[in-house]
Amino acid sequence: MSHMDVGVPSSPGKFKSEKPHLHHHQRFLLRWHNYLPKLFVWSFFAAAVLLALFLISPNSSSTSSGFPHSSFTTERRFLRTSSAPTWGGPEWEKRVRSSARIRRRPFGISVLVTGAAGFVGTHVSNALRRRGDGVVGLDNFNDYYEPSLKRARQALLSHSGIFVVEGDINDGALLAKLFDLVAFTHVCHLAAQAGVRYAMVNPGSYVDSNVAGLVSLLEAARSANPQPAIVWASSSSVYGLNTQVPFSEVHLTDHPASLYAATKKAGEEIAHVYNHIYGLSITGLRFFTVYGPWGRPDMAYFFFTKDILSGKPITIFEGPEGATVARDFTYIDDIVQGCIASLDTAQKSTGSGGSKKGPAQLRVFNLGNTSPVPVVELVSILERQLKVKAKRKVVKMPGNGDVLFTHANISLAKKELGYHPNTDLQTGLKRFVKWYLAYYAPPSRTYLSKKGRSGGSSSS
């Protein structure tokens, strides 16, 4: 029976006289029948609002650097990776093998580059390919920062004939498959959860990538036959609260100031274990604040550029009693030079079948620029390059894991790797700004529309 048949009022009171003819349970049912459409509409509306809030949450509560203003509690605990990473199948295997093929005989190497769609990963992969080495990339394309930038880097690599496998370093089956398909001579392990301050927002992601992910990678490498030599990204942050300058590899690294630093330090200890037990040849590189074209939007030089151009204030940290905060900013090409020299000088691993046949090489190098620059000076250089005055807001450095200064002693890398950084901050930032303006095309309306297209925020 429809409500039309029984004359259920369209508005209360209109057909009041008909109501008493109905039994109590009928009236109850009719009332519900009447409310159901409304209930449905309101439920639908509430669900839509919740969904919209969920979808916009990563950007709406973020600063340019991508972190929530209001609190450091975890607003989004897990990073999203590419929707459905798929691997396997004859076509996929063909692409992996073809990308790994060495074009430079007899000395070429075949390298698995993890984090290949990342900043350093892209540059290293390209440099290897340019000289004819085999390169296969691996990246999970997570949304720590705008995935569109990672996709653009992937397109660049694809243009050079490099295949980037979509997958996670924690996927042991995928790693085993890759080592099964290709006898990689080297792994350049650059996949990591980067960023010092974000460790207070999403600590779990540091453990997942920098500890569990590293172990997963080393497990696959020690089981591979032949075992590859490993070169991997540690960090200048392991020096933590060390006050001896310049930072040397012989200094203690027992006082990390952030969880990021602690996971990198843990990585160095884990490397020692895999070298000791399984004979893996391992080289850890302590990178000092790497910057340049195709860089990371979560880093200060990058989001300062964005904010200066859009007229937003930038926050510059200062130490206690106005102490200067400084970094040994290192240009990407110099870092690439150090990575490639490390790959070229890496000795073979000595293990096979899960046990070592003799001692293997274990190294750690600083890769810095050796000339720290105050952050205020970095801002002045950017102002000159961009021809826009920054709206500076100087604040006391919050207790967020940052250290006051970094300064690399690079004599060991000079001696063992022939490492000679030759790009000063002025020159390097000029190249970065040129790339940035071309990529985002500010400050015209094109900039705004492109920004929207690429996801807008420079959050991770």
Give me the active site residues, please.
260
The reply to whether 195 sits near ligand UGB by the rule CB under 6 A is: yes
Q: Which is nearer to ligand UGB, 228 or 428 (CB)?
A: 428
Of 164 and 190, CB closest to ligand UGB: 190
DSSP secondary structure of 117-149: TSHHHHHHHHHHHHTT-EEEEEE---SSS-HHH
Beta-strand (E) ranges in 25-162? 110-114, 134-139
How many residues interact with ligand UGB (rule CB under 6 A)? 20
402 binds ligand UGB (CB under 6 A): yes
d(CA 319, CA 189): 34
Residue 278 binds ligand UGB (CB under 6 A): no
Supply the minimum distance, in Å, between the C-beta of residue 63 and ligand UGB.
8
Q: Judge contact between 335 and 297, C-beta under 8 A.
A: no
Task: Work out which of 99, 114, 140, 235 binds ligand UGB, going by CB under 6 A.
Answer: 235
Minimum distance of ligand UGB from residue 191's CB (angstroms) = 13
Distance CA 328, CA 395 (A): 21
Q: Which residue's structure tokens are 């060991």? A: 412
If one asks whether residue 370 binds ligand UGB (CB under 6 A), the answer comes out as no
Phi first, then psi, for residue 171 (nearest 5°) are -90, 90
Question: What separation, in Å, do the N-terminal and C-terminal C-alpha atoms of the chain show?
Answer: 57
Residues with Cβ < 8 Å from 181, sequence gap 6 or more?
Answer: 93, 96, 97, 100
| Residue 237 binds ligand UGB (CB under 6 A) | yes
Q: Which residue, among 192, 196, 195, has the nearest Cα to 258 in the 3D structure?
A: 196
Nearer to ligand UGB, 303 or 440 (CB): 303
Q: How far is the CB of 118 from ligand UGB (least distance, A)?
A: 11
Q: Which two tokens stand for residue 40?
A: 């449905």
CB 65 within 8 Å of CB 402: no
Residue 174 binds ligand UGB (CB under 6 A): no
Least Cβ distance, residue 217 to ligand UGB (angstroms): 18
Report yes or no: 152 and 197 within 8 Å, Cβ to Cβ: no
- Residue type present at position 391: K
Site string for ligand UGB, 307-336 (x = CB under 6 A): --------xxx-------x-x---------
Question: Closest Cα to residue 281, out of 351, 366, 335, 191?
Answer: 351
In 29-56, which positions are buried (b, 16+ CB within 10 angstroms) versus exposed (e)? ebeeeeeeeeeeeeeeeeeeeeeeeeee
Q: How far is the CB of 283 from ligand UGB (least distance, A)?
A: 16
Q: Which of 84-92, 153-161, 231-239, 448-456 is the region at the interface with ligand UGB (rule: CB under 6 A)?
A: 231-239
Near ligand UGB by CB under 6 A: residue from 200, 221, 230, 299:
299
- Site membership for ligand UGB, residue 289 (CB under 6 A): yes
Sign of the Cα torsion 194, 198, 199, 203 reads: negative
Site string for ligand UGB, 25-64 (x = CB under 6 A): ----------------------------------------
Given the complex with ligand UGB, which of 64 and 281 has the nearer CB atom? Answer: 64
Choose one: 83-91, 161-169, 230-238, 432-440; the region binding ligand UGB (CB under 6 A).
230-238
Are 189 and 231 in contact by the 8 Å Cβ rule? The answer is yes
Query: Least distance (Å) from ligand UGB to the CB of residue 94?
Result: 35
Note whether 300 binds ligand UGB by CB under 6 A.
Answer: yes
Q: Is 288 a residue that touches ligand UGB (CB under 6 A)?
A: yes
Burial of 132 (0-12, 13-18, 19+ CB in 10 A): middle
- Identify whether the C-beta of residue 366 lies closer than 8 Å to the C-beta of residue 410: yes
Using CB under 6 A, pick the residue from 375, 381, 410, 417 that binds ligand UGB: 375
Nearer to ligand UGB, 96 or 257 (CB): 257
- Closest separation in Å from C-beta 109 to ligand UGB: 25
Q: Which residue is nearest to ligand UGB (CB)?
A: 235
- Closer of 187 and 194 to ligand UGB (Cβ): 194
Pick the closer one to ligand UGB by CB: 102 or 245: 245
Binding residues for ligand UGB, rule: CB under 6 A, are: 65, 194-196, 235-237, 287-289, 299-301, 315-317, 325, 327, 375, 402
